[in-house]
Chains A and B, each alone.
Chain A
């Protein structure tokens, strides 16, 4: 998490969390008569007014289908949609805007790679390596591919503190490895995976590396050209943008070599009943009317983040995490899950005698929103020996006082439940 954010325009302006909070209208509301304490941004982040306004303006003023009509409105809508693509390119420092494919989310982006790249390049006996910490969306598409092709899925283990042991990881990689598909940051444990070293392992055996960046891109500046990956995917809604939009980034040659994912309008060059030829990427992978306004909304979220000093944001989130880890650890019977060094601001925990669901219900009555359950990572839960955890995730708009509110609410929950 210590990579400098090269694109920040000025030098560190101090991060003013109260000013940032004022940009998020929902943070002013109450839940059950208590101020909202939203600690579930890892599931989906709240939206700043700038994003909400951009969406309203797009529908209210600039809306038409894209890439079709030869009229002014369609041209402006197309320009706004394509401008959003360029914003994403800049945000992840991709070399070429044609490398940015809009999907409906990270899940669809991974399925796209599994279906299009996987069916073309993975054969029986080939190996795909994932880790034990993956979200279901980075497990199940590979199981489907395994069932379709007869390839082998290998699981690199996780250590009790949530970290990844590179020696053990290396043991899962071999000459048959064709793809390594891993989280950039774990949504349950907050672990930042050792991506650079794993990229080297992948490339040493001629394998590709896919990073599930859902949580990674939220917490640090991402440069796909220096990360060493071949595919990077993420969802707009966790990055303060709308739902229904996600990104697949892949190097242009890879996208060129891949067959289409879905067939339909917008992805063709020419269609006859005898033969259809594909449009070049990214259009080849964007069949049908795309999520136009969602893309524009994601562009607005990126504009918003670019007004902030992301190093300062990261420092703020880490300060919240440190405060949370210290205060939570003082609650009797509470055990932190995920304590890997350098981790991101996502903290799972379990509490003696209080099931995560009961905790979340009681916390909710204090206005505190946390996630309880398996976090779409059931295999990881089994390895950790729990059926569920409670998870608090800290975003750029959270405050130290909200961490304290969590701790107070947890102590109160103990009075109710124990």
Chain B
């Protein structure tokens, strides 16, 4: 086929970076957390994608373990996978800050360095990695794919069982 001849649009290359495809195909922490203390499902009613986040939070407010299961596109699965990888062992406070920062990265309100600062410098490597999600800025309908797992995480930590991208 002649398909290979056509150059790939830059914004597509930005969206589907190696790290996104890698996490999308081989998600980390794709399971249910044993003895989880909270659980929440996130739905995207537009496409029917759903992710379920489970976490075990210690009495001291540490996210000891966090994992996810679900069905979704490469963007939402990669986002969930990187989320769990970054947040394991972090305080709930940091998780909340990171969640807000990632959403701002995806919509273009924050650049990577600003996002690092917003999380207080505690997770610079994690933010660097998650910044790969900011490729969705050029694809407005896909922003919700990237933020869905984070909505679910927030519901999970807030003790709400359900969330949806249509708020």
| Chain A residues within 8 Å of B, Cβ to Cβ | 32, 353-358, 361-362, 365-366, 372-374, 378, 381, 387-388, 408-409, 411-412, 415-417
A356 to B76, CA, bound (A): 13
Shortest A32–chain B CB gap in Å is 7
Shortest A36–chain B CB gap in Å is 16
Shortest A51–chain B CB gap in Å is 27
Shortest B13–chain A CB gap in Å is 8
Known A355-B72, A362-B16, A387-B50; further 12 A-B contacts with Cβ < 8 A: A357-B142, A358-B16, A358-B73, A366-B6, A378-B48, A387-B48, A388-B48, A408-B3, A409-B3, A411-B1, A416-B16, A417-B16
Which of B4, B25, B47 is A372 in contact with, Cβ under 8 Å? B47
Shortest B94–chain A CB gap in Å is 30
A374 to B44, CA, bound (A): 11
User: What residues of A have a CB within 8 angstroms of the CB of B16 in the complex?
Assistant: 358, 362, 416-417
Cβ of B21 under 8 Å from chain A? yes
Cβ of B74 under 8 Å from chain A? yes
> Contact at A365–B9, with CB atoms within 8 Å?
yes
Cβ of B60 under 8 Å from chain A? no
Shortest B7–chain A CB gap in Å is 10
Shortest B52–chain A CB gap in Å is 13
Which of A354, A378, A415 is B4 in contact with, Cβ under 8 Å? A415
Q: Mark B1-22, 1 if CB is under 8 A from A, else 0.
A: 1111010110111011000010
User: What residues of A have a CB within 8 angstroms of the CB of B71 in the complex?
Assistant: 387
User: What residues of A have a CB within 8 angstroms of the CB of B12 in the complex?
Assistant: 361-362, 365, 416
Query: Secondary structure of the A side of the interface?
Result: helix
A-B contact pairs, 26 of them (CB 8 A): A355-B74, A356-B73, A357-B49, A357-B145, A358-B73, A358-B74, A358-B75, A361-B12, A361-B142, A365-B11, A373-B47, A374-B48, A387-B48, A387-B49, A387-B71, A387-B72, A388-B47, A408-B1, A409-B3, A411-B3, A412-B6, A412-B8, A415-B3, A415-B4, A416-B8, A417-B16
If A355-B74, A362-B12, A408-B1 touch, whether A417 touches B21 (CB-CB below 8 Å) is yes
Output the nearest chain A residue to B16 by Cβ-Cβ distance: A416
If A358-B73, A373-B48, A388-B49 touch, whether A32 touches B9 (CB-CB below 8 Å) is yes
Output the nearest chain B residue to A411 by Cβ-Cβ distance: B3
A239 to B25, CA, bound (A): 40
User: What residues of B have a CB within 8 angstroms of the CB of A378 in the complex?
Assistant: 48
A355 to B142, CA, bound (A): 13
Which of A353, A354, A361, A408 is B2 in contact with, Cβ under 8 Å? A408
User: What residues of B have a CB within 8 angstroms of the CB of A412 in the complex?
Assistant: 3-4, 6, 8
Which of A366, A373, A415, A417 is B74 in contact with, Cβ under 8 Å? A417
A354 to B77, CA, bound (A): 12
Which of B3, B13, B46, B139 is A361 in contact with, Cβ under 8 Å? B139
Shortest B142–chain A CB gap in Å is 6
User: What residues of B have a CB within 8 angstroms of the CB of A374 in the complex?
Assistant: 47-48
A378 to B47, CA, bound (A): 9
User: What residues of B have a CB within 8 angstroms of the CB of A357 in the complex?
Assistant: 47, 49, 73, 75, 142, 145
Interface set, chain B 35-81, CB cutoff 8 A to A: 46-50, 71-75
Shortest A370–chain B CB gap in Å is 13
Shortest A347–chain B CB gap in Å is 19
With most chain A CB atoms within 10 A of its CB, the pick from B3, B13, B46 is: B3
User: What residues of A have a CB within 8 angstroms of the CB of B15 in the complex?
Assistant: 361
With most chain B CB atoms within 10 A of its CB, the pick from A355, A373, A412 is: A355
A32 to B7, CA, bound (A): 13
A308 to B76, CA, bound (A): 45
A354 to B72, CA, bound (A): 10
User: What residues of A have a CB within 8 angstroms of the CB of B1 in the complex?
Assistant: 408, 411
If A365-B12, A372-B47, A388-B49 touch, whether A353 touches B25 (CB-CB below 8 Å) is yes
Shortest B119–chain A CB gap in Å is 28
Shortest B8–chain A CB gap in Å is 6
A79 to B71, CA, bound (A): 53
Output the nearest chain A residue to B74 by Cβ-Cβ distance: A358
User: What residues of A have a CB within 8 angstroms of the CB of B145 in the complex?
Assistant: 357
Interface set, chain B 131-147, CB cutoff 8 A to A: 139, 142, 145
Shortest B144–chain A CB gap in Å is 10
Output the nearest chain A residue to B77 by Cβ-Cβ distance: A355
A356 to B142, CA, bound (A): 12
Shortest B5–chain A CB gap in Å is 9
